[in-house]
Amino acid sequence: MINESYLDNRFLPLEELNIKDCYICGELLGIDTTTDHIIPTSFFRKGDQNRPKLPVHSTCNNKKSKDDRWCVKFIQFYAGFSVEAKADFKVFMDKAYQEKSYAYLIGQRNSNYKLAMNLFGNIKPGLEIKSNGEVLRQFTISSETAQRVNGWMKLVCRGLYIRNVTLAKPDLPKLQWSQYALSELKGQDQQFITPIQRLINNSNATSFGQKWGNRVSYIGSRAAESADNGYIFIHFYRQVGILAGFGLRKVSRG
């Protein structure tokens, strides 16, 4: 497990960043601007402070919001060994089952049901795996699903990076994903964790980070040379970790 003791809510006030561009599309902001929650609000609980936000184009915000809901469910499903992820996901599935019975009635709200169908229509169940007495079913996802979640996660990471690094305008990052229970079973957990922990330790002086309970935390740093080179490591439910590298030739040195 990654050591998170360094996460002390080190981040700049938004006014100090002098944001001119939309982090979603990269273009200059105009009149039609709104505020985007970089990390979707459904990951937070009432009273959670300092949620990262950035100004974006309204049209870009609408596009991302559609993916927000879908990708949150995907991550909760993927983090299935976490009690909290399971509970959050169950609320959604219960609603979806309820809506299923009215799905034929015109005008009934059935967005959760549609979302569930969309999510599971794309997932093929595989082998069951066991970890600490828990059972999780492995699954394979279509390349379409993978692309959608990956594309969304790249935007989230770029947003967090820009929200924390003055004058940064990086390209979309390269991502490396890990589901811990799965990699632990395959004996590959240290292959992911060791290089990331080293990256974090080495960048401690320039690092920034935030944490909200067990649901979400992130840490990142710019590389010394340029504001557009650096990394974000984001963690969901202590079960899913994603390393995003911006302009780095090699993200992890093992």
Binding site for Zn ion (CB under 5 A): 22, 24-25, 57, 60
Q: How far is the CB of 212 from Zn ion (least distance, A)?
A: 26
Residue 63 C-beta: closest distance to Zn ion, Å: 9
Least distance CB 25 / Zn ion (angstroms): 3
Closest to Zn ion by CB, 32 vs 134, is 32
For the chain, list the strands marked E by DSSP.
33-37, 53-57, 123-131, 134-141, 174-179, 207-212, 216-222, 230-236, 240-246
Helix H or strand E segment including 63 = helix 58-78
Q: Which is nearer to Zn ion, 24 or 156 (CB)?
A: 24
Q: Would you say 17 or 93 has its CB closer to Zn ion? A: 17
Q: Which of 158, 154, 165, 180 is nearest to 2 (CA)?
A: 180
Q: Which is nearer to Zn ion, 19 or 119 (by Cβ)?
A: 19
Q: Which residue has the tokens 């009934």?
A: 108
Dist. CA 180–CA 171, nearest whole Å: 28
Whole-number Cα distances in Å, 202 to 10, 243, 248 = 17, 15, 15
Q: How far is the CB of 58 from Zn ion (least distance, A)?
A: 9
